[in-house]
Amino acid sequence: MLPERIRLLDVDINGLHSGQLVQASTYTFDYRRDDPAQPSVSLLMPPGTLHFDGGGALFPAMDMNLPEGYLFMQIRQFFPKQTITPMHLLALMGDNGIGRLGYRLADAPAIKAGAVVNKAELLASGNGPALFQELMRAFLSTGAGISGVQPKIMVPDKATIPVPTLIIKMAADRYPGLSANEFMCLYAAREAGIQVAPVDLSEDGSLLVIERFDIAADGTRLGFEDAASLMGQHVRDTLSDRKYHGSYERIATALKLINLSATELARFFEQVAFSAMVHNGDGHLKNFGVLYTGVDDIRLAPMFDVVTTSIYKYQRFDGGPELEDHTMALKLFAGPKGSKIYPYAKELLDFGRRVCGVSDPAAVIQRIAQGMTQALAKCRADRRIAAPLYEQMRVAWESGLGLAKEAARAG
């Protein structure tokens, strides 16, 4: 159990004390005053300024990892009589959130890490849903530092690294085959030369096992901030659909403001183009981000959380008609003329050249199409992927492959 009220948390960076987060009438953060060269808790909160006042909302770089959806409801069930505020969630997250920030009560003992799991045994599971529930019970109190609506949990698989190193995702009932869907998308991205974290699918196709991309080989954790944080948005503490407001052009602008290199902006174009070509309608502000060690070492994070959403139906309200989603999560371009409709090749080429500075965006689109084609060929006989799902994915990707042909003609 945690205290009924939490007003102060110590904040660590890579296990070293950085400052204090306080919730009173407002949220405030104060760096410790003995080291002007200390690392920053956020690219928008440099230690050159020792005191920050966040107003009534938690700072975006701290807000971004708060559990939501399925994981949040599991926490509520796990602590049925416990007050749950953002400060409680941060304390529960401890040192295990994505990125390098950690949170602890001033006098509380460190939360003990769970036993190390065997990745090969996870992948060999023939009953993923049952195994997932076991993992949830075993690691919920130490693996809650991850956001998102889909059922997921973080678990450790390396005794030498004191934080969870694997992200385990399970397909939700309302989105059958979602784990296999994401596996196919990430496989295609890798075949296209787009950077993704190491990923694999369990034998029964129900669990997606992803290695965290924010941990260096020596165990050092990298700073991570998603696009919502970089744009100063408090996604979880405001409207739940805030992450769907904006445009990919606005994300590119935010990336330029933190001096992301031309090479990394070209990688951002790869991610946007791929998302459009596989009909990923959930590429929102929290599904793009950067990794960093300091302001002189910032790079785009590998692509993550990408699925072909157009194969699923949804209802605007209970009992309403089933609808198909044929729009992107964000507008491609900013402004009143921006649209969420999947772009034509001409629009995508313009975005690549004018917004991301890519000299030959048509070549990028061709490379993505080739990766998608190779993934379809290699996944056809994969027994972990149900034949009906594979066929839905193949049909959904046809328009993306057609866009590549259109781009080749348009140049």
Among 146, 137, 138, smallest CA distance to 169 is for 146
d(CA 90, CA 9): 8
d(CA 195, CA 274): 12
Longest dimension (CA), the chain: 65
- Asked if residue 113 belongs to a domain, the reply is no
- Asked if residue 2 belongs to a domain, the reply is no
* Whether residue 92 is found in the same domain as residue 198: no
d(CA 94, CA 104): 6
d(CA 7, CA 25): 10
List, in sequence order, the alpha helices (H) in 172-302. 178-191, 227-230, 248-257, 262-277
* Whether residue 312 is found in the same domain as residue 190: no
d(CA 402, CA 368): 12
* Whether residue 185 is found in the same domain as residue 263: no
Burial of 64 (0-12, 13-18, 19+ CB in 10 A): buried
- Asked if residue 110 belongs to a domain, the reply is no
* Whether residue 16 is found in the same domain as residue 143: no
- Phi, psi angles (nearest 5°) of residue 151: -55, 125
* Whether residue 356 is found in the same domain as residue 263: yes
Q: Which of 211, 244, 265 is the last residue of a domain?
A: 211
- Asked if residue 218 belongs to a domain, the reply is no
How many domains does the chain contain in total?
Answer: 3
Q: Which of 211, 235, 264 is the last residue of a domain?
A: 211
Among 148, 163, 151, 43, smallest CA distance to 103 is for 163
pLDDT of residue 239: 42
Radius of gyration of the chain (CA): 21
SS3 333: coil
Chunked mean pLDDT (size 10), the chain, 411 residues: 89 94 96 90 95 93 86 81 88 90 82 77 89 82 63 84 88 87 98 97 95 91 96 64 90 97 98 98 95 95 96 68 80 93 96 98 98 98 96 96 92 69
- Asked if residue 98 belongs to a domain, the reply is yes
pTM for this structure?
Answer: 0.92
The whole domain housing 79 covers 8-104
Angle (nearest 5°) at CA 205 between 199 and 208: 30
* Whether residue 283 is found in the same domain as residue 372: yes
At which residue do the structure tokens 């009932």 appear?
A: 173
* Whether residue 259 is found in the same domain as residue 193: no
CA torsion through residues 129, 133, 139, 141, sign: positive
Question: What is the distance, to the nearest Å, from the Cα of residue 254 to the centroid of all Cα atoms in its chain?
Answer: 17
d(CA 3, CA 25): 19
* Whether residue 166 is found in the same domain as residue 89: no
The enclosing domain of 147 has a CATH number of: 3.30.200
* Whether residue 170 is found in the same domain as residue 259: no
pLDDT of residue 238: 43
Helix then strand then coil, in percent of the chain rounded to 5, is 35, 20, 45
* Whether residue 151 is found in the same domain as residue 182: yes
pLDDT of residue 301: 98
Angle (nearest 5°) at CA 373 between 368 and 374: 95
- Asked if residue 111 belongs to a domain, the reply is no
Burial of 162 (0-12, 13-18, 19+ CB in 10 A): middle
